[in-house]
Amino acid sequence: MKNMKILAAAIVIFAGAAGAGCAQAAHFDGKRALADVKAQMDMGPRIMNSPAHVKVVDWILASLKSAGWTAEIREATKGDVKIRNIVGRRGQGGSWIILGAHYDSRLLADQDRDPVKRTLPVPGANDGASGVAVLLELARTLPKDLNKRVELLFIDAEDNGDIPGWEWIMGSEAFAAQLKGKPDAVVIVDMIGDADLNIYREGYSNRTLTDEIWQTAARLKFPQFINEPKYQMEDDHIPFLERGIAAVDIIDFDYPYWHTAADTLDKVSAESLRAVGETLLVWLAEK
């Protein structure tokens, strides 16, 4: 360990010298992201109209602001449902890129094998908390002087489809309907914390964006990105695609704990979060 530390110190000094003048990119810290998954799990399931849902909104806003981002809530209502999407903004000029993840968790674990547990809310470690954690670590890692407009979008009311009184992707639909202007790219991350992470190309996603991101992952040697199609998902990229906006869904749908009471912290790994976060960080820098 001691030798490792000396080597690391030498690298820091060298990187500091080499980086003076050019933008030496910071790295995405998977462990820090995992701590943010845990922080959300400690709040309890972030289901609509619950104290945990209120708490996670405040926590996301505070996290964005402490990382130096402008942050605001975009409200909308659909029927009885009050939707609160959160947008963090930084940078201007060049391209306009939105990175999004849903922050709500599903009201019912209706895919659980145990009928008793199907009435419980989904804990949402992977399905909800993982995407939020990646966005928040990006907020801390992206440079302050961005030469493009980046928005981190925390999406409400995504995950209650097929439950009476609800629809899928209500938050992103409301956000896209309110959008003024046309972003150059929208990237959605969802269920990307699974320790056994296998992200296939999603069938509805914009092909060019998918190529770019999967090629970046290949270059960075993240085998978690598999350059083959597998699923077509009704996810938060759809409302953007429907409006002619290039959008991609980064999702690993091979998750045995999907919409069960077992979608818990132990299923998520720092390395999986890092694979996605670091890929997006590098892709963004080149975009």
Integer Cα distance of 35 and 129 in angstroms: 10
- In degrees, rounded to 5, the angle at the alpha carbon of residue 131 between the alpha carbons of residues 166 and 152 is 95
DSSP 170-192: HHHHHHHHH--S--SEEEEEES-
Least CB distance from residue 159 to Zn ion, whole Å?
Answer: 4
Least CB distance from residue 193 to Zn ion, whole Å?
Answer: 13
Least CB distance from residue 79 to Zn ion, whole Å?
Answer: 20
Of 64 and 262, which has the nearer Cβ to Zn ion? 262
Of 127 and 151, which has the nearer Cβ to Zn ion? 127
Least CB distance from residue 271 to Zn ion, whole Å?
Answer: 22
Site for Zn ion in 151-170 (CB under 5 A): 159
Integer Cα distance of 88 and 255 in angstroms: 29
Q: Where are the beta strands (DSSP E) in 18-109?
A: 70-78, 81-90, 96-102
Q: Does residue 194 touch Zn ion according to CB under 5 A?
A: no
Pick the piece of the chain touching Zn ion (CB under 5 A) from 14-22, 122-130, 178-186, 192-200.
Answer: 122-130
202 and 187 Cβ atoms separated by less than 8 Å: no
Of 49 and 66, which has the nearer Cβ to Zn ion? 49
14 and 21 Cβ atoms separated by less than 8 Å: no
Among 36, 104, 112, 127, indicate the residue that binds Zn ion (CB under 5 A): 127
Task: Note the residues at the interface with Zn ion (CB under 5 A).
Answer: 127, 159
